[in-house]
Structure 1
């Protein structure tokens, strides 16, 4: 199979993945708006953990070899960061809606670029710093701090973006010593262990119809993560990462059509600025990596 075919397949996998993630976010908003968010996330992590354990058990060497990590503390910490991000983000869906939450969350690639220096020791050039600055101008446009009464809760998805950017960088850092599958297994297991006490403490009875929604949430979560891993296997991350912004489109459409969210002009404008800045940052990252490879080859 040619490289072009691999990239094409990776793009389509990313498009489908972003759509499923958006549907997952919509289901999460519905369930968290009715039941305690800790219970919802705990059940989701239980299913995730069972899935990862079943996959790990069938791998070569069994569970022990599949779960072996050279840096367990790092794996635990990065998994805890993701747990915190998921808990806070689902709360944001309920408080702010899908449109505004995703509009602000779209800034996470900019935060990844900004933090890649102190976390990974990578050099960030002036062009990418300029794009980061422009991107955060878009965040200011979305939040409108100078107009009317500023809502402190509007900062919640920005905190989520920061946490997810940190999680992404820690995952890249962990990949220096552990395989991607190892990180995937630890993510599910640590999340299940940490969330179980909270989920049991805040347990609420759930009607049958919502158990069906819960099943759909669990299935979409596992499916989306599996397809995301598959997408990165068949194509370079730099080639398909820009298409991750489609999640903002799908989630916004779902929020407007199903949850009656509104797309305010400042949110649309700010999100456009953030996405353009993020795409430029991704392009500069790819160009920088390509230049380094050519320099080594030469």
Structure 2
């Protein structure tokens, strides 16, 4: 499916969708932290996140896609690659949700912002993309921001922070795999595999630890997947409405959403080091984004 130039030239809508997507992602994470703290096993929360997402995707495809495209709507040209890519996101979810039981929402969100910088670092060996001096500087700046937050001493880095760093590596690899798969399958097939693989894998694990949820917990279990699935959909549309260099900087508003939700729901407030580290990580990402925007402008002239 081709996208018209008109649909791409909506920068204001793209920016708004990116900010709403970041809000939904923060909401999903806040719900996960609440459910785990409320006594539900990690496996059950992860299952809820993917199962609700899968239900949303199947409903969308059955209503809007299947009548038009038939069975081809569900076929992948490279199913094993889609499974491997989806497993990266599942591992990220396990590590990320595990870290949320030990760290504040703001701390986890801030450390995860190294993922876009890792994408820059890994894009050369994995995709053959160039690695400029500006990008290397951005990687160094972002890593220094992580060190400010984690504050490693003689006792070493806290292991919950290592969980987040591991999650960030998985997300970086997942994003690179998604970039590779965009020329292989339509985005709807890629999103379907993301939800399907996560649901199947979590369904094998969750019966061993299932805890009967209350009615309120059922509602939150459904909401966590709907928020996550909708956020991914908005993210795709945002990049269709405007260039990545236009909308990507606004993903950093997630730190503000995480700050607000962390304070309202959990009473968390970041210390000075966390705030400084988050600002440094964001600066590292903006170095890349501003440089890419300038390069795109020079190419278009």
TM-score by length of 2: 0.91
Paired residue for 2:194?
Answer: 187
CA contact (8 A) 1:106 1:248 kept: no
2:19 maps to which of 15, 22, 25: 15
Q: Which moved further from structure 2: 73-82 or 184-193?
A: 184-193
User: In 2, distance between residues paired with 1:73 and 1:127?
Assistant: 35
User: In 2, distance between residues paired with 1:94 and 1:205?
Assistant: 20
2:69 maps to which of 35, 53, 61: 61
User: In 2, distance between residues paired with 1:214 and 1:153?
Assistant: 24
Paired residues for 1:278-297 under 5 Å: 278-292=285-299
TM-aligned CA distance change 1:293 to 1:182, over 3 Å: farther
Paired residue for 1:32?
Answer: 36
Paired residue for 1:145?
Answer: 152
Query: 1:276 and 2:280 equivalent?
Result: no
Paired residue for 1:105?
Answer: 112
Query: How far has the Cα of 1:101 moved from its partner?
Result: 0.6
Query: 1:49 and 2:57 equivalent?
Result: no
TM-aligned CA distance change 1:132 to 1:149, over 3 Å: closer
Query: How far has the Cα of 1:200 moved from its partner?
Result: 1.8
Query: How far has the Cα of 1:233 moved from its partner?
Result: 2.0
User: In 2, distance between residues paired with 1:70 and 1:218?
Assistant: 26
Q: Which moved further from structure 2: 78-87 or 247-256?
A: 247-256
CA contact (8 A) 2:43 2:209 kept: yes
Query: How far has the Cα of 1:219 moved from its partner?
Result: 2.5
TM-score by length of 1: 0.92
* Aligned length, in residue pairs: 293
Query: How far has the Cα of 1:229 moved from its partner?
Result: 2.0
Partner SS for 1:110: helix
TM-aligned CA distance change 1:147 to 1:141, over 3 Å: farther
Gaps of 5+ in 2: none
Q: Which moved further from structure 2: 64-73 or 51-60?
A: 51-60
2:183 maps to which of 144, 168, 176: 176
Paired residue for 2:93?
Answer: 86
What do residues 159-198 of structure 1 show as CA deviations (whole Å, max 9, x unaligned)?
1111111101100011122221221111111111111111
User: In 1, distance between residues paired with 2:27 and 2:297?
Assistant: 35
CA contact (8 A) 1:99 1:255 kept: yes
What do residues 247-281 of structure 1 show as CA deviations (whole Å, max 9, x unaligned)?
11111221123212231111111111110110111
Query: How far has the Cα of 1:226 moved from its partner?
Result: 2.2
CA contact (8 A) 1:143 1:154 kept: yes
TM-aligned CA distance change 1:36 to 1:4, over 3 Å: closer
What do residues 100-125 of structure 1 show as CA deviations (whole Å, max 9, x unaligned)?
11111111111111111111110010
Query: How far has the Cα of 1:290 moved from its partner?
Result: 4.5
